[in-house]
Structures are given as structure tokens and as C-alpha cells.
Amino acid sequence: MNKQSQGLAVLIVSTLAFTVCFMVWMMFGVIGIPIKTTLGLNATEFGLLTATPVLTGSLIRVPLGMWTDKFGGRIVLFALMMLCVVPIFLISYATEYWHFLVLGLFVGMAGGSFSVGTPYVARWFSRERQGFAMGIYGAGNSGAAVNKFVAPALIIAFGWTAVPQVYAGIMLGTALLFWSLSHSDPAHLVDSKITWREQLLALKDPKVWKLCQYYSIVFGGYVAMSLWMVQYYVGEFGLSIQTAALLAACFSLPGGVLRAVGGWFSDRLGAHAVTWWVLWLSWICLFLLSYPQTDFTIMTVNGPRSFHIGLNVYLFTALVFVLGIAWAFGKASVFKYISDEYPTNIGVISGIVGLAGGLGGFVLPIMFGALMDLTGIRSSAFMLMYGVVWVSLIWMYYTEVRGTRLMGASSIPAP
């Protein structure tokens, strides 16, 4: 098998593995609802329950990226998936809140698969095709949508405890399939003389922190909303868990699958152009989603008149669908930045940026719950993300857009 065929095989089987890992990582977004009812959790406790796996999956990304650079993505991803099988299965036997939190920390390791597969896949392709290749791999984010189709069906048929048992079996089978069909290339490894301290010098680069900020919304926001959306539909619109999960998939599915399209556009239009428009589209959607259900009365010449302002389930779903598409493009464009600016250090940089995005996915659901407990307004979650997008837009304007315009103006000859 030639190198091109090996690269294609690696891309396909790695994307499948990442999809399964992401499905497992988002598991509590669905099974957390019956667990919340059983344990009598409030919104903040529910947010912590769903976010706990995200914490581990975020913190482990930097060392996983380093190990991938040094030892190769094939062995690291296989070992990671095998380590997750037992804790996934044990969730079905948990009975106390702390049981779920502790096991969730171990299950969360599956989320670190992104910082393994990204450099592993990218190095099998030319620089001109890396954005598209990483976009296809990143489409494994659609595992969040797969979870919303599979988990509710299992809950209805067998109860929530069947979900971790089935997911453990799927993870084991996928790990074995990945090992049998993937390949390794010693030329892709980073020089073993390079130390971890030298690799971490990337943290001194302000561009890395800027990419972390972008990714905290396009990926962190995606993870947070994927975890939060089902219970939001249930609470805000009074839907059943099956219907809520189906509608929530309207956000999760395009947010994952279309990442490959975002990679294709980033290759052709550039990472900056795609990210800039993604942030503006996110700003518009989140502004509309932030407005709470409102009733007000005004005095007219004909007496008092009442009005209602608020999104119905159809408009809400349409907006989150558009938001999912935007963030799919944004996730791909941020990693196009990485492959363009850090071609020899993709593993570490993707690990650092992925860590920031994952931490956003951990912190945001907890803040969503705390804000709802504090204000009683469900849409306060979107108000928070609206503010995060503002920060990203301002940062991009002053570091990229404004600087480019000033350079263009300075190049115009004086009259």
C-alpha cells in the first residue's frame, strides 16, 4: 500500500474512532436527565455532572499532543480508547452523585482523542490539503449528534443504565478496528532530543492565546451547548426527551459534519476570512437567542395593550442550526491557523488550543446552571456566550483586521 492509500485509510479509521470517542464524551448530556431526576439535582449540579468528563478531556490534551509528536498517533489513540472501556461500563453501576463525578473524570479521557488524531492525520497530507483533512477528522464532533440519536432509544428500550454498557462495547470494538486498519510512519515523529519544556515555549506566543480564545467559543461553546441543549428543550418548551434530543441534533449534527466543508473553505479563502465571518454570524445568532420570553403591556389611546416577545421552538431550532454550521466552519478555520503558522509543532499547539476549547466546554455548562439558578432565566446561557463572542471579535479586530488596514494605508504613497 502506497503512502497516499495509507493516508486515506488513516483518515477514515481515525475519524470513526474520534466519532465514537466524542459520542462517549457527550454521554451525560442525555443520560444526565434521568440521573438528575433520580438524584434530585439542581441546575448547577446538573451542569457539573455533564461538564466533569469535559474537564479531564481538556486537561489531558496537551500531554497527549506531546506524546503524539514523540511516539506517534496510532499507539497513543489506541491506548487511550482501551483505557476508557472499563470506566464507561462502570457508570451503569453508579448510584451516588460522587460516583458519577469520579467515573466521569476517567471517561473524559476520550475527549483528549482530538489532540491525538489532529496531528496524526495532518502529517499524512500535504500542507495544501491539511485543512480539509483535519476538517474531515474534526467532523467526528458529530458523535455528539449520534449520542442524541442512540442514547434516547436505549433509554426508552432498556433504561439509562444500558447506555454506558453499550457504549463500552462500541468503544472496545472501534479500538480494535482502528489498530488493525491504521498505519504509522517514523518520519512523522518529532526529534526525540526536543524536550517538553522546549515544546511548551509555545505558550509564550500571544498568537497561541488568541487562537485559544477563538476556540473557546467555536468548540467550547459547541460542547457546552451539546451538553445543555436537550434539557433546555425539555425545560423551555416542555418537550419529551426523545423530541428534545432529535431537535438538539439539529445543532450538533451540522456542527460536526460540516467541519470538513469549513476546512475546504479555510484552505481556499484563508483561516482569517472564515473565522472573521464565523464570529459575526455567531454574534447575530446569540443576540437573538439571548432574548428571554417576555410579556409587556403599554398604554395606548384605546387602553392597555399586551405584547409577547420570544422565540418559539421553530425559530429557536433554526437559529441554533445556523449557529452549529458557523461553529463547524470556525473549528476548522482555527486549526487551519495552526497548520499554517506552526507546521512543525502541530501536536503541541493543537493540544494547547484544544485544552482552551475543552476548558470552555467544562466551565460554560456550570456557569449556565449557576446563571439559571441565580436569575431564573434559561436564555442567560446565550447571554454569556454572546459576551465571549464580543471578546473574540474585539481581539481579532485589533490584532488582525485593524493592523492589516493600517499597513495597507501606510503603503499608499503620499500625494
What pLDDT, on a 0 to 100 scale, did the predictor assign at position 407? 45
Tell me the three-class secondary structure of 93-119, residue by residue: HCCCHHHHHHHHHHHHHHHHHHHHHHH
What pLDDT, on a 0 to 100 scale, did the predictor assign at position 332? 83
- The answer to whether position 316 is within a domain reads yes
What pLDDT, on a 0 to 100 scale, did the predictor assign at position 279? 92
What pLDDT, on a 0 to 100 scale, did the predictor assign at position 327? 92
Task: Report the CATH number at residue 88.
Answer: 1.20.1250.20
Tell me the three-class secondary structure of 228-261, residue by residue: HHHHHHHHHHCCCHHHHHHHHHHHHHHHHHCHHH
Cα 255–111–156 angle (5° rounding)?
Answer: 70
Neighbours of 392 (CB within 10 A): 23
- The answer to whether position 411 is within a domain reads no
- The answer to whether position 413 is within a domain reads no
Instruction: Report the C-alpha gap between 268 and 237 in whole angstroms.
Output: 41
- The answer to whether position 306 is within a domain reads yes
What pLDDT, on a 0 to 100 scale, did the predictor assign at position 262? 82
What pLDDT, on a 0 to 100 scale, did the predictor assign at position 1? 66
What pLDDT, on a 0 to 100 scale, did the predictor assign at position 405? 52
- The answer to whether position 412 is within a domain reads no
**Residue-wise pLDDT tens digits, 153-192:** 999 899 999 999 999 999 999 999 999 998 887 777 766 5
**Residue-wise pLDDT tens digits, 84-108:** 999 999 999 999 999 999 999 999 9
- Counting the structural domains of the chain, the total is 1
What pLDDT, on a 0 to 100 scale, did the predictor assign at position 414? 40
What pLDDT, on a 0 to 100 scale, did the predictor assign at position 359? 85
What pLDDT, on a 0 to 100 scale, did the predictor assign at position 402? 66
What pLDDT, on a 0 to 100 scale, did the predictor assign at position 412? 40
Burial category of 254 from C-beta neighbours within 10 Å (exposed 0-12, middle 13-18, buried 19 and up): buried
What pLDDT, on a 0 to 100 scale, did the predictor assign at position 348? 72
What pLDDT, on a 0 to 100 scale, did the predictor assign at position 90? 96
Successive 10-residue mean pLDDT values, the chain, 415 residues: 81 93 91 91 90 88 81 91 95 94 93 85 80 80 86 91 95 95 78 61 80 88 88 89 88 79 83 90 94 88 87 93 92 83 73 81 89 91 92 85 52 40
- The answer to whether position 144 is within a domain reads yes
pTM: 0.78
Q: Left if phi > 0, otherwise alpha if psi is -120 to 50, otherwise beta: which for 238?
A: left
> Which residues 6+ apart lie within 8 Å of 138 measured at CB?
18, 114, 118, 256, 259, 260, 263, 331, 332, 335
Q: Which domain holds residue 320?
A: 3-188+198-403
DSSP sequence for 253-305? HHHHHTHHHHHHHHHHH-HHHHHHHHHHHHHHHHHHHHPPPEEEEEEETTEEE
- The answer to whether position 415 is within a domain reads no
